[in-house]
Structure 1
Amino acid sequence: MKKLYIETLGCAMNVRDSEHIIAELTQKEDFEVTQKIDEADLILINTCSVREKPVHKLFSEIGYFNKVKKEGAKIGVCGCTASHLGEEIIKKAPYVNFVLGARNVSKIRDVLKKNKAVEVDINHDESTYAFSDFRSSPYKALINISIGCDKKCTFCIVPATRGEEISIPPELIVQEARRAAQNGAKEIFLLGQNVNNYGRRFSDKDRKIDFTDLLKMVSEIEEVKRIRFTSPHPLHMDDKFLQEFASNPKICKSMHMPLQSGSTKILRAMKRGYSKEWFLDRAMKLRQMVPDVHISTDVIVGFPGESDEDFADTIDVVEKVKFEQIFSFKYSPRPHTPAKEYPDQVPDEIASKRLQYLQNLHLQMLDAISQKEQGKVYEVYFEELKPNGYVSGRTDNNWIVKVKGSEELLGKFVDVKITKPGRLALEGEVVG
């Protein structure tokens, strides 16, 4: 057996792409996965290009791979950075054997057999391709429901790396979810750039189905106990969608709502398609319909043209919604994006101060939020062993909970009483 080493950077969709690659190579070629780079016959790095830092990391990583790899081992670069840099990667790092874009995962076996292959077609349609099956975890299953993105957010490189949005046929999604659940994965995690825009475009143009309909179909699978998804777009959070989220007991009560900015002026410059008022209306309706819901978000500070007043609007939304989790970043100019050429770029020192203020404010909020969890009892689905004799899992509303225990808890739903609150994770003890 040949050995495959794969490093994955970026989002859950990249993780799923890596699982597809592993499945194709271990089940259709004679590879097995290794954690040791120096024994691998094939070394892959699956890249992210949403921010500048992972792109820089790519070249330092493949340079390191080239130094430690055994003689004759191949190096391949996959993912979003592969899509937008293409041949440039091989020019800059001639020891790379092939480049495989994020929209071309199904071609992994082909590029492996060609030297210096570059497959980065962002219009390639693999929405109906039946990948072989591989899961990083036996307890939960990541499932792509769409490929690409039709939004034109002015800061985002994704449309240039993953192409136009196309939905995967619902019967393929349900079939994959059923197979995963029957193999022990009680939690299904649906993935898409804008999951609640599902159904906008299929290879079969006559199909009519939306994301809410898909949620109902997946929830009808008896073995599926929990459904999560990411990332929904605030623009598509209509009442039908929110009602299904609130009323369907299998849908986990945590929602990722990417805000990006609280300023309607900046949202317009970002081409997000909604206003501050719309976002607040949807978030507050969600809080009203599902009192114990956890809402997470993404925030970009220092977008071109962001004034102190615009940043104050972002802080106002944060204080009103009281997000349980915030992924916050300074604006990072990306190639192939209109915002890169915008005037009024915000100086780095101002953006840094704003980011620090936002993050400090949110830490204070988290302390208050987590303290209220003391003494509560949650049903936790355990999925991961941790150091020092702990096992961790998640509540329905996405708190990470760890308890003293062993692998016998893995894959089980267990009632846990919270004994030690924390900002992002809770500690507890098994009850009952």
Structure 2
Amino acid sequence: MAMRKKFYIETLGCAMNVRDSEHIVAELTQKEGYEPTETLEEADLILINTCSVREKPVNKLFSEIGVFNKRKKEGAKIGVCGCTASHLGEEIIKRAPFVDFVLGARNVSKITKVLHTPKAVEVDIDYDESQYAFADFRSSPYKAYVNISIGCDKQCTFCIVPHTRGEEVSIPAELIVSEARRAARRGAKEIFLLGQNVNNYGRRFSGEHPRMNFTDLLKAVSEIEEVERIRFTSPHPLHMDDAFLQEFATNPKICKSMHMPLQSGSTRILKAMKRGYTKEWFLDRAAKLREMVPDVSISTDIIVAFPGETDEDFEDTMDVLERVRFEQVFSFKYSPRPLTPAQNYADQIPDEIGSERLSRLQARHGEILDEMKADRIGQVHEVYFEELRPGGMVAGRSDNNMLIQVEGSEELLGKTVPVKITEAGRTSHRGAVVA
């Protein structure tokens, strides 16, 4: 019997990249007869699914694929996929001639085509995959990522994503609900809806489809009997209207964790970023969330040292940090990206100032997390377990997205049980199952 071909895939970046990789795995295994391997040296096909949101991962790409080329077995192919593939295109093969094909983030469905086309470059950001029927694969049987849109219509001056994922197109609601229903019936009790701006859902469809906004979509998914939990990312603060917040607060299936990308606390900088909202609007939405859902967990993204950011602007960001007290912060120094207006702005901030501001922001947020820890000891949360951890531990997340580990076995996987927190940390906690 012939040996099946094997592939190795490395995924960088966001949850949408994770879902793109799942689509690639499904197409390769079900249509090309490949099977996955975690050992690069035995792979017949090596893939890296890239991220281009910041400069560092892009710079790392060529050294990474150089290492892959040295370690691969004879005859193995190397493919570069994702957002960096979208914006560099043919340049990748020019700089690294041993790369066999380049597949952009908007062209995932073409994986079986490029696999058989020498030096293929498929990076069309206008390509429409919104109704493509991907083969089915999920990396976890307990949680299902479901794309609800592709692309992004925002023009944030720091962001390269519209140039790598193209114009925003919503996936028809009936396809989303059907996919969520299939996943839930196969055991995925948690559905994770994905889009660059999920609460902008319904703005544009490919073809004629019934109008539906994100709030209505949440209601439709929650009507699937087997679905117990719904999460989503990323909503845009600009589109957090009262109807959306009301549905979030009152629908028992929607998990009470909200990612609200702040980017900057300065209204002046937010305008330069073309974010579309003010500091006051963001604080109003966060305060309303805390009022409607007292145990809500709010996470955010923050960029420090955006061009022209003064000390006063940075203090505005620190003020929002103090007033909202985010449970999680993804924070970065501004990174100039190609194809974005901000890379050409005057008043680029010196690196040492950016580093100092980032350190100060992260240090204060660490203190805030430490202040929260004491209140969490003794709390009881409903935890959905989905992962085995070393040392006889099982990990899962509470409704409000706290990572909690308990002693246990695979018998807990896929179950939601009450857990009492016994040890609280900054990013994860330990607990004991309540009998």
TM-score by length of 2: 0.99
Q: Where does structure 1 lack aligned partners over 5 or more consecutive residues? A: none
2:253 is matched with 250
Q: Which of 291, 295, 299 is 1:296 aligned to?
A: 299
The question of 1:280 aligning with 2:283 is answered yes
What RMSD over aligned residues (CA atoms) do the two structures have, in Å?
Answer: 0.6
1:362 is matched with 365
Q: Which of 262, 265, 275 is 1:262 aligned to?
A: 265
The question of 1:156 aligning with 2:159 is answered yes
Distance 2:186 2:62 in 1: 38
Distance 1:371 1:127 in 2: 46
2:50 is matched with 47
1:24 is matched with 27
Deviation per CA, 1:230-289, whole angstroms, max 9, x where unpaired? 000000000000000000000000000000000000000000000000000000000000
2:133 match: secondary structure: coil
Task: Give 1:56 deviation, angstroms.
Answer: 1.4
Runs of 4+ more than 3 Å apart: none
Amino acid at match of 1:351: G
Distance 2:373 2:387 in 1: 22
* Contact 2:172/2:209 (<8 A) preserved: no
Q: Which of 178, 181, 195 is 2:181 aligned to?
A: 178
Distance 2:264 2:142 in 1: 35
Task: Give 1:60 deviation, angstroms.
Answer: 1.1
The question of 1:95 aligning with 2:98 is answered yes
Task: Give 1:198 deviation, angstroms.
Answer: 0.4
Deviation per CA, 1:298-346, whole angstroms, max 9, x where unpaired? 0000000000000000001110001000000000000000000000000
* Contact 1:371/1:422 (<8 A) preserved: no
Deviation per CA, 1:384-429, whole angstroms, max 9, x where unpaired? 0111111100000000000011111111011111111111111010
Distance 1:65 1:351 in 2: 33
Amino acid at match of 1:404: E
* Contact 1:167/1:198 (<8 A) preserved: yes
Task: Give 1:197 deviation, angstroms.
Answer: 0.3
Distance 1:421 1:78 in 2: 39
TM-score by length of 1: 0.99
Deviation per CA, 1:203-225, whole angstroms, max 9, x where unpaired? 12453110000000000000000
The question of 1:68 aligning with 2:71 is answered yes
1:114 is matched with 117
1:397 is matched with 400
Amino acid at match of 2:133: A
2:153 match: secondary structure: coil
In the TM superposition, 1:132-281 aligns within 5 A as 132-205=135-208, 207-281=210-284
Q: Where does structure 2 lack aligned partners over 5 or more consecutive residues? A: none
Distance 1:413 1:209 in 2: 31
Amino acid at match of 2:189: K
Q: Which of 326, 331, 334 is 1:331 aligned to?
A: 334
Amino acid at match of 1:280: L
Distance 2:414 2:60 in 1: 35
* Contact 1:42/1:73 (<8 A) preserved: yes
Deviation per CA, 1:16-66, whole angstroms, max 9, x where unpaired? 000000000100111000111111110000000000111112111110110
Task: Give 1:361 deviation, angstroms.
Answer: 0.4
1:4 is matched with 7
Q: Which of 395, 406, 431 is 1:428 aligned to?
A: 431
Amino acid at match of 2:361: L
Distance 1:273 1:11 in 2: 23
Amino acid at match of 1:327: F
Q: Which of 81, 84, 107 is 1:81 aligned to?
A: 84
2:121 match: secondary structure: strand
The question of 1:35 aligning with 2:34 is answered no
Work out the number of aligned pairs and report it.
432
